[in-house]
Amino acid sequence: MTTQDPTINQNVSPNQPSSDQPAKKKNTCLIAGLIIGGCLFLILIIGIISSLVLVNLGSSKNKAKEARVKAGIVQLGNMAEQYYDENNTYVGWSVNQEIKADIANLGSSVNSLITPTNYVVWTKLLSNNQYICIDSNGQLLNIKQPPTTTSCQ
């Protein structure tokens, strides 16, 4: 007669789930849930960082525009000085139309006052309601009001 090993359960077939299979299923669901939660957290962090970058990009764009406006005003001052050196007067000098159009495309306008011995050129800055001004004394200043004389002061 054959004896059976008492540790082997004869009633369990190989195709039946054993008692430890539901625990494996729970572990698999837990791991899947953690992965999905981690992915959602990463998406949230990426969204927050993206919004911060877009906000900074907007202010950088405005700063770049203002730098271009200031460069245009400085260039106009240099052109006025060159005209004076050649003609010994500012009368007859006018604002370069290309620079004026460039500044207009950036959302501002160029203004000037010219006398035989002095000039002032200014434009309104876009961000802070101030003006950038250059005059025949070589001053490049940010001012709160447009000039009423041929000086930025």
Task: Say which residue, 76 or 12, is predicted with more confidence.
Answer: 76
Distance of CA 63 to the CA centre of its chain: 9
* Mean pLDDT for the chain overall: 84
Q: Is the pLDDT of residue 77 over 90?
A: yes
List of residues 6+ apart from 28 with CB closer than 8 A = none
Q: Which two tokens stand for residue 120?
A: 């002032």
pLDDT in tens, 14-54: 555 555 555 666 777 878 788 888 888 888 888 888 887 77
Q: Are 106 and 126 in contact (CB under 8 A)?
A: yes
Q: Are 117 and 132 in contact (CB under 8 A)?
A: no
The terminus-to-terminus CA distance of the chain in angstroms comes to 120
Please report, rounded to a whole number, the percentage of residues in the chain having pLDDT higher than 90: 50
Pairing of strands 131-135, 119-124: antiparallel
Q: What domains lie within the chain, and their CATH numbers?
A: 28-143 (3.30.1300)
Tell me the pTM. 0.64
